[in-house]
A and B are shown apart, each in its own frame.
Chain A
Amino acid sequence: MNENAQAVFNRPQLFGEAVTHYCPGCAHGIIHRMVAEVLEELGIEGRTVGIAPVGCAVLIYNYIQTDFIEALHGRAPAFATGLKRVSPDLIVFTYQGDGDLASIGTNEIIHAANRGEKFTTIFVNNAIYGMTGGQMAPTTMPGQITATSPHGRNVKECGYPIRIAELLSSLRTPAYIERVAVYNPQNIVRAKRAIRKAFQYQIEGRCFSLVEVLSTCPTNWGMTPQESLKWQETTMLPYYPLGCFKTPEGEVKE
């Protein structure tokens, strides 16, 4: 190798050598990487404990090399509450999918946010249950075909998709809540900025922080990776608007 050559793109050190189990075109890899980069850049990886969900990301502890606790389905915010309350110097984050956070775990996330627990949640919304085989999620789009909505999500029976960022923003307790997407590089840059901000607020002990990341599931959506990025942009974005929904007191929404 040319000794003048400079590395312009490296694997984050926090990523071990493990090869992820994620399908081609799945955005979990991108989101994991952003989290790892932010932890490294902020220099907090040595005092961070992640809370893994039940869902496709359950094995996140094999990829991001920090301490981890594997939570029960939907209960990551309760684990995080317990850990952060007794060890406030730790940096604690939960990484949860939409079945985990928006269905079985709604009670835990709403109350953790409402108590203003000072941890960070990375909420990955891909509008479907990935792990269990492509069933309908609370975030599944109207008319979207899944294993348990073979004729498309019927909003008369199942209601409309839950918008978690908006729902949590209605709470009075200060928080940082932003929704981002990862379908193109510009949005990935914005997403990483939001994740960084979320951890920054935690370091400062300011507030609960949650970043909802719109993601993809080419396997269960039945699309190529390219098509799934397009679908995220054209179908999900109009229903799930991007942007900052809530900032702690004294901060201005960008």
Chain B
Amino acid sequence: MNQVTFPVLDKRVIIFAGAYGSGKTEVAVNYAAGLAATCSEPVSIIDLDVINPYFRSREAALSLEAQGVRVISPHGEMCHADLPIILPEIRGEIERSEGKVVLDVGGDNVGARVLSSLADSFGRGYEFLIVLNARRPFTSTVTGSLKMIHDIEISSRLKFTGIISNTHLIDETTTETVEEGYRLACAVSTEAGLPVKFVSAVGEAAKRLDPETIGVPVFTLKRQLLKPWEEKDRAARSSKNKGGLVLCRV
């Protein structure tokens, strides 16, 4: 983790929300890991995604725990449930006075609705960040992004405090993709009166970004939520799917 470019946010509670597929989870997971590497305080991440059945931050739990991040998500078989499960410890974690806590919220206004039920816990101050990806169908324009901001604010009963520019096309992301997204984020920033807090991008694309063009910190992401055929680490692959019956004829 590059400590120089890690954009530390002062508030104790940091909430990432946004459209489906904007990359909230990847940003939240990387951000929590980055906090754990830079801060002396304890760091936890709360998986508040109650609408997506797959690719949630709980899937990166093992790796996060190894990096010193406490993962709060449904336990045991419940981690595979498509039920809206809000653990009682979530409220306590948000209301505590020390440490940093990252919230990964489900997509769209539908996914952000869960924040409403916790609205009375955010009194001590928070960052509420909209993750924008200009290559997603409903946030590819300023109008679409403003509507998303509006809809999420209504359903969550919270006001955004900043924008994260996270435009990407997964492994087809180029420097141009990121720059194009940053331009949209700036336009949205002007219209919505919200600052762009940082630009996030995967390694190669982030490296080649011109600091002159990007006027805000660049946060380098390392992809944590891989598809099963993308995992290159053979030890990690071997450790998956342990236990259970293997069906074969040999």
Task: Note whether A and B contact each other (Cβ less than 8 A).
Answer: no
Interface set of A (CB-CB < 8 Å, partner B)? none
